[in-house]
Chains A and B, each alone.
Chain A
Amino acid sequence: MRISRSPLAISAFLLAIGGLLISSGGDVQDTLAYSTPVILFVAAAVALFTSVSASSLIALLILVHIVPFCLIGLLHSMGPEGPSIGYWCMVASAWLLAWFSVQNLAGLKLARPDAQRVVNLALPVLFGAWLLILWEIIVRGFGVPSILLPPPSMIAGRISNSVPTLWADFQQTYLKAAIAGYAIGCGSGFLAAILVDRVPFLRKGLLPIGNLVAALPVVGIAPIMVMWFGSYWESKAAVVVIMTFFPMLVNTVAGLGASGAMERDLMQTYGSSYAQTLFKLRLPAAMPFIFNALKINSTLALIGAIVAEFFGSPIVGMGFRISAEVGRMNVDMVWAEIFVAALAGSLSYGLITLIERAVTFWHPSYRT
């Protein structure tokens, strides 16, 4: 028998013994109060006494991820005094075991590329899952008031109960304001950059003014835009336009200057026109810069659209919902909107990254 020297496995094993011996505070009638420490002990034993192999790692991963469900289930049968020392020993042990197994998983070198891809995908998923598990257990175990921080299960329940509201808000804020503002802001920033690059005096005149506009605080701009364009989504789109215009302008201007002197001389030796040089050399060379701006702006657009709704909006929209529900102490609804915003933001960022890889495949950071 081989004993693992990993301090993670050793401390997890000791804590699992603690979980067996010390009362968790759960109801003695509950079978979970008996089975949970046993499952945990078996998992810790697997970690400590088996050599690292694919089969032992899979067994460990399965056991380790049964435990949190038992632990959360145990909380239901707790008395008003809540869980005691033995329970927290088990939580700590389960967390260390998860850490141990994910560490081994990350160190795994697999021959098959698709298997490796599954592992690479599993790592962030497990990491995120444990964040939610610990959040749930700690908030409920310590009885944190849900107005300060609701447990994830409560937020999930709120999300599933409010799909029509969340969808209407998402439509209003993201599909209308953020996307329209993003398209107009990025598009006009791009065209302005081409113009600034072509006309030298604009470079001196317009760029500093663009700089000034970029420094304007969104909380100052938003109420003015609401006065100008009304309280519907158009005013939010206007705020997004102002926020996204400048990053695109500056990045594209920098990108247009990114092609080398030699490459430009080359185009000149062919007697190439301005437009030919622009489309065949300078814009392709500028693409990494332009995608940089597109990525920065994708997050800015959502922030801008949400914050702008704080300053007047119809009774729909993610920003409106957040400010209204905070006032009514419905913090779980605020978290539900935060979840939708985070999901939409990451998905759009991911989508732009995918397009970027396809367009700038030649860039040293993506070459295969």
Chain B
Amino acid sequence: MPQVTLKNVIDVKDLSLVFQTNDGPVNALSNINLAVNGGEFVSFIGPSGCGKTTLLRVIADLEQPTSGAISVNGMTPSEARQKRAYGYVFQAAALYPWRTIGGNVSLPLEVMGMSKAERAERIAKNLELVNLSGFEKKFPWQLSGGMQQRASIARALSFDPDMLLMDEPFGALDEIVRDHLNEQLLKLWAKTQKTVIFVTHSIPEAVFLSTKIVVMSPRPGRIHEIIDCNLGTERTLDIRETPAFLEIAHRVREGLRHGHSYDGE
């Protein structure tokens, strides 16, 4: 497991976000306080409508907060985005069908104006990282869903950002593929030492992957509890049967249930 540095790479203070809709204002995020250290693997978990994706999008500068402060790598989210501080992985692979797998991985590199030689080198390196060497010339629709999502992770890593922001990246995949990709993601995290923010609604997935689990609850979207999750350095799928794993999973489930009991208010 990577060395956790103490520097706050993400610092959120009293952040709120209100969406104006036709049915009146919706409190998507309310009084969020969160600090993420470099090299951590942080999961946001909660029921739909709890604002976990919105919070990730605020960090990525894809949504603007209504009030409060947020810094990413010591900058505003907008500056961090312009400086390419993070790679974003969406719910779907969102590969461009007119580009090959290699061409898709090359896309951010082209936008950033890298030379052809450097692009080729990075494409090869990152496809190898996600075990897709040899698929460079294939088109996205010729690959399985799991392979497409791995290609999109290679694309997010291609420009070597400090952070990886992942929005339910394996939500659309079946459980067998998902377990496999979770294991691969842990290895990738250990290898690259990147800070990962991971949105999920699966308790086992969150506990298996994270060093820190942020339990969120809806209406208004807020952080209910932050649970530390240190299951050691060498995690395999087997640890899901250990008492330590089950205990943390139980705490997360309790937290989620508690969050929901505020519904009646």
Instruction: Name A's B-contacting residues (CB within 8 A).
Output: 260, 262-263, 265-272, 276, 280-281, 284, 360-364, 367
Contact = CB atoms under 8 A, between A and B. Distances in A.
Interface stretch (B33-41, B90-98, B253-261): B90-98
B81 A268 contact: yes
B228 interface: no
B177 interface: no
B135 to A, nearest CB: 16
B102 to A, nearest CB: 15
Given A280-B111, A367-B141, A269 B88 contact: yes
Given A270-B84, A271-B111, A362-B139, 5 more contacts: A265-B62, A266-B90, A268-B61, A272-B111, A360-B98
B98 A362 contact: yes
Given A280-B110, A362-B141, A271 B96 contact: no
A361 B83 CA distance: 35
Contacts of B87: 269
A260 B112 contact: no
Nearest to A265: B62
Q: 6 closest A-B pairs (Cβ-Cβ)?
A: A362-B97, A362-B98, A269-B88, A270-B111, A262-B94, A271-B82
Nearest to B57: A265
Contacts of B60: 269
B199 interface: no
Interface in B159-217: 159
B94 A263 contact: yes
A260 B88 contact: no
26 contacts: A260-B94, A262-B92, A266-B88, A268-B81, A269-B60, A269-B86, A269-B88, A270-B107, A270-B159, A271-B81, A271-B83, A271-B84, A271-B111, A272-B111, A276-B111, A280-B96, A280-B111, A281-B96, A284-B96, A360-B98, A361-B98, A362-B98, A362-B139, A362-B141, A364-B141, A367-B141
A284 B98 CA distance: 8
Contacts of B2: none
Contacts of A284: 96, 98
B198 to A, nearest CB: 16
Given A271-B81, A271-B82, A266 B112 contact: no
Interface of B: 60-62, 81-84, 86-88, 90-92, 94, 96-98, 107-108, 110-112, 139, 141, 159
A265 B88 contact: yes
Most buried by A among B81, B83, B91: B81
Contact of A268 (B62, B98, B112, B141): B62
A355 to B, nearest CB: 15
A267 B97 contact: no
Given A362-B141, A367-B141, A270 B90 contact: no
A270 B94 contact: no
A34 B91 CA distance: 77
A320 B9 CA distance: 76
Contacts of B88: 265-266, 269
Contacts of A265: 62, 88, 90
A281 B110 CA distance: 12
Contacts of A270: 84, 107-108, 111-112, 159
Contacts of B84: 270-271
Contacts of B61: 268
Nearest to A263: B94
A321 B92 CA distance: 59
A260 B110 CA distance: 20
A361 B88 CA distance: 28
Nearest to B141: A367
A360 to B, nearest CB: 8
B73 to A, nearest CB: 14
A281 B141 CA distance: 17
Given A272-B111, A280-B107, A266 B94 contact: yes
A263 B62 CA distance: 13
Nearest to A284: B98
B194 to A, nearest CB: 15
Contacts of A266: 88, 90, 94
Contacts of A262: 90-92, 94
Contacts of A363: 97
Contact of A269 (B62, B91, B92, B141): B62
A90 B147 CA distance: 63
A75 B141 CA distance: 59
Nearest to B156: A269
Contacts of A362: 97-98, 139, 141
Most buried by A among B94, B108, B111: B111
Contacts of B92: 262
Contacts of A269: 60, 62, 81, 86-88
A280 B84 CA distance: 18
Nearest to B79: A271
B57 to A, nearest CB: 8
A268 B111 CA distance: 10
Contacts of B112: 270-271
